[in-house]
Structure 1
Amino acid sequence: MKNRILVSALCTVIAAFMLVGCGSNSDSSTSDSKASTSNVKAEAVEQRKVYVTPDWVQSVIDGNQEGYEDYVIAEVGYGDVKDCDSYNEGHVPGAIYVDNCEVEDAIGDVDAPYNLLPASEVEKYLLGHGIDKDTKVILYGADASGTARQAYAYLWAGVEDVKIINGGIDTWKAAGYDTEKEVNKGKTVSDFGTKVPAHPEYWTSMKDAKDKVANDDNFKLVSIRSEDEWLGKTSGYTYMDKAGEPEGAVWGKGPLDPYDMSGYMNDDGTIMTLEEIKADLWSDVDFTTDNDLAFYCGTGWRACIPFLICYEAGYDNVSVYDGGWYEWMLHDENPVQVGDPASADCQHTTVAELPTDKAAAE
């Protein structure tokens, strides 16, 4: 679970210990091994397929996926590897560890509101892990939204093939595959192979979000926040004292709170397909996949899941408004809606006029 106020210092200096773990509650024992007793084969998937099965990943490890000879498997956490319980309890064999702070700032102020890091810094970390644009990257992590954030950033940077183990380490173990405890590191490479970011269109700024809401009828700014956040009852975060949504936003439904993406998940913890989401969550929303969609949330993590779902379904009209509500509320002049915009009770105001008692409880 991510709590940026407690851990932001970790991403700027090496702290003595982590205050927020990235661990899993799953059994840390090594699973009965199919990997050591079988040569796994699985059907090939399209390059843009993001969420993949453990069987497919094991088939890559076993050398049975053509074109996947140069690959990196990585567990995504928040902070230093020594403090990531899930990685140290047992990770996918050969997996390195990558930190969410390698793709986004962790200062949390008006100049650095948890947005993606400058392209040169993201590129530096990628190269340090041995990742260039042609490397096949397979991610997983204890936090589904944090893992999605990393995958989104890698695609934005220009990694052409990024996968996520659907369901993470729990589905990996449930499939009967091995884990290991050795800390692995990638081999540094010197050239990413293209200019970073290769896909700036995946990222929407606050300025562009405001302009498009006002002037582009086909553009929809889609909130991926809880109902209480959407209605302005709470900011959803202990470090945000004002609640509301950017004026003109529409609701994408789903998460129960900032740390729960179960609305976008199946019962087994795997991420839904776009067709499942359309039938379940998006059957009565104020947008369609024909619109130009910019997803946002509080600080950018939750929004990356619907982005990836749409991306893997082949849509190129999607992006993430990276700054989310946090960046929006740092600017007093920004227009705000509080409540359901379809209701006569919806309040239309500015950030400056909002009350400052809407922070979530500790």
Structure 2
Amino acid sequence: MQDPSIISPQWLVNHLNDENLVIIDCRFRLATPQWGYQQYLISHIPGAFYLDLDRDLSSPIGKHGGRHPLPNPETLAPKLESLGITWGKTFVVAYDDFRFAFASRLWWLLRYFGHFQVALLDGGWNGWTKEGYPVTDQLITPKPGQFMPQLQSDWIVDINTVKEKKDLPSVTLIDSRAGERYRGEYEPTDPVAGHIPGAVNAFWERVSDEQGYFRPLEEQKPLWSPYQDSSELILYCGSGVTACVNLLSLEMLGYKNTKLYPGGWSDWCSYVVDNS
């Protein structure tokens, strides 16, 4: 196997029948939330189950907390069990068709829950089908697993912590959204345009190529070298989803000082709207 956080389509096709493997389809579109599950029902990798960003990998939206609050462990854990995932044992492979945007959320969540046996499929769904590997519309019944989360609670920060730390010289706050959203030139989703004061910009799509393959780590090192002397890197995006792609890159490069602000810009600007 390659790096444990990224596996190739060739590896997966050779391990489809492994008893200790669970595959999760995470395809999703923010503008059409039902699209991913509809695509899954039409065709998916044999043996794969589906987890939905809105329904499974997030909590219901509140006044604050952002557009995709982290899921309640007591809600998600039984769902993971029902898919045959046993904490600390089952090897999970997640995929999407959007340059890791949604599969990385599951990758990060499982690790946040203390389950480190998880990887992403390099090239995702598009790479899999391009290689001509098998697909199916058949649904299977999983064997029940046992999942008892052990939260890595120091991996996340809330808005108050961001306010306290964002201007410290030893801390770097990283906005993972596209440059035009960071600069406030374009905002398709949230009610306010711009970024958190003091944040730098590192667009999440830079860690993959246009075909959805993870760029070689040597190519990714320069993306983060400006911040290598920071004591802490706090990452955010619109709602704590695509920032996980950047967290994946940093993890694979050996950074251990990273935190996620799950609420992201959508949480931050919900207070701006309140105060306007």
**1:184 alignment partner AA:** I
- Whole-angstrom distance in 1 between the partners of 2:235 and 2:33: 29
Is contact 2:61–2:69 with CA below 8 Å preserved after alignment?
A: no
Residue aligning to 2:200: 250
Amino acid at match of 1:208: T
Residue of structure 1 in register with 2:163 after alignment: 210
- 2:181 maps to amino acid: E
2:219 alignment counterpart: 276
> Which aligned pairs between 1:1-362 and structure 2 lie closer than 5 A?
44-46=1-3, 49-61=4-16, 69-78=19-28, 84-100=37-53, 101-110=55-64, 113-133=67-87, 134-143=89-98, 144-189=100-145, 191-193=146-148, 195-197=149-151, 199-214=152-167, 216-237=168-189, 240-252=190-202, 254=203, 261=205, 263-279=206-222, 281-282=223-224, 285=226, 287-288=227-228, 290-332=230-272, 352=275
TM-score between both structures, scaled by the size of structure 1: 0.67
User: Measured at CA, do residues 329 and 112 of structure 1 come closer, stay the same or move farther in structure 2, by a change above 3 Å?
Assistant: closer
> What amino acid maps onto 1:135 in structure 2?
T
Q: Matches of 1:82 and 1:308 in 2, distance apart?
A: 25
Amino acid aligned to 1:277:
Q
- Is the 8 Å Cα contact of residues 175 and 201 (structure 2) preserved in structure 1? yes
Higher relative contact order (Cα pairs below 8 Å, separated by 6+ residues):
2
Give yes or no for contact 2:182–2:194 (8 Å, CA) kept in 1. Answer: yes
Identical residues among aligned pairs (%): 24
**CA shift at 1:142, angstroms?**
2.4
**Distance in 2 (alpha carbons) for counterparts of 1:292 and 1:82:** 37
**274 and 331 in structure 1: CA distance in 2 versus 1, 3 angstrom threshold:** farther
- Compute the displacement of 1:242 (Å): 1.1
**TM superposition shift of 1:182:** 0.3
Q: Which amino acid aligns with 2:134?
A: D
How many residues align? The count is 270
Task: Compare CA radii of gyration and give the structure with the larger one.
Answer: 1
Q: Structure 1 residues 219, 290: closer, same or farther in 2, change over 3 A?
A: closer
Does structure 2 conserve the Cα–Cα contact (< 8 Å) formed by 1:213 and 1:248?
yes
In structure 1, what is the Cα distance between the partners aligned to 2:239 and 2:147? Answer: 27
Structure 1 residue 227: Cα displacement: 1.6
> Given that residues 139 and 147 in structure 1 are in contact (C-alpha distance below 8 angstroms), is that contact kept between their aligned partners in structure 2?
yes
Alignment-mate amino acid for residue 125 of structure 2: I
What value does the CA root-mean-square deviation take over the aligned residues? 2.6
1:184 CA displacement = 2.6
Please report how far the alpha carbon of residue 207 of structure 1 lies from its aligned counterpart in structure 2 after TM superposition.
Answer: 1.8
Q: 1:266 to 1:82 in 2, by over 3 A?
A: closer
Q: Which moved more, 1:301-310 or 1:227-236?
A: 227-236
Return the offset for 1:282: 4.8
Letter in 2 for 1:223: D
SS of the counterpart of 1:183?
Answer: coil
Secondary structure of 1:217 counterpart: coil
CA deviations 1:150-178 (Å, max 9, x no partner) are 21111111212111111112211222321
Q: 1:154 to 1:185 in 2, by over 3 A?
A: farther
Query: Residue 64 of structure 2 aligns to which amino acid in structure 1?
Result: V
Query: 2:66, 2:266 within 8 Å by CA — same for their partners in 1?
Result: no
Could you state the TM-score of these two structures normalised by the residue count of structure 2? 0.86
Q: Distance in 1 between matches of 2:153 and 2:23?
A: 25
Structure 2 residue ranges without an equivalent (≥5): none
Question: Alpha-carbon deviations, 1:53-105, whole Å to 9, x = none?
Answer: 10111232255xxxxx4110111144998962432332111111122221212
